[in-house]
Amino acid sequence: MAGNKAKKNQNFSQILEKIEAEGHFFQWQQKFISGMYYSMYKHVEKLAQEIRKGAAPGDGVLETLQEDVLSKMSSPLKSDAHLITPNDLDEADEFVFCLSKRFGMMAAQFKAFLDETGGLWRTQQLAGKPARIFYSTESQGGGQEAMV
């Protein structure tokens, strides 16, 4: 029993090392998992970083707000995130979406990214690929279901 547990832990360590080595797209159990997020105040970015340690993302989606608007919203202006494009999705077997909530809906930045995937939808290239969703909100009952 103890030997099995040690072996499992060793395997898990090897997986984590592989994840660290391979960056934002990585192979895990023969699958490429693509993770992506939008984060204005870094809460979701932190969430995405923690998820990455265990399994997945992530790449950022493009910011659509002007710098002066971001500044008025007291947002940290720059993010070091590698930006994902819709074309990147085709390479992945699974997805992890990390969302932040804006007025009861997903952030428009993330919606804009999804809206760009119309071509992939038309050819059904992503059909059947599993997706997981994580989100960060301020209140408990502010429309999480509508966002997802």
Ligand X SMILES: Cc1cc2nc3c(=O)[nH]c(=O)nc-3n(C[C@H](O)[C@H](O)[C@H](O)COP(=O)(O)O)c2cc1C
Q: Which residues bind ligand X (CB under 6 A)?
A: 39-45, 100-104, 136-139, 142-143
Rounded Cα–Cα distance for residues 112 and 121 (Å): 15
What's the farthest any 2 CA atoms get from each other in the chain? 60
Closest CB to ligand X among residues 79, 120 = 79
Q: How far is the CB of 78 from ligand X (least distance, A)?
A: 14
Please name which of 92, 98, 125 lies closest in space to residue 38, comparing C-alpha atoms.
Answer: 98
Q: Number of helices (H) and strands (E), helices first, in the chain?
A: 7, 6
| Comparison of 64 and 126: residue with beta carbon closer to ligand X | 64
Q: How far is the CB of 91 from ligand X (least distance, A)?
A: 25
Nearest distance from residue 140's CB to ligand X, in Å?
8
By C-beta, is 91 or 138 nearer to ligand X?
Answer: 138
Q: Provide CB contacts within 8 A for 115, sequence distance 6+.
A: none
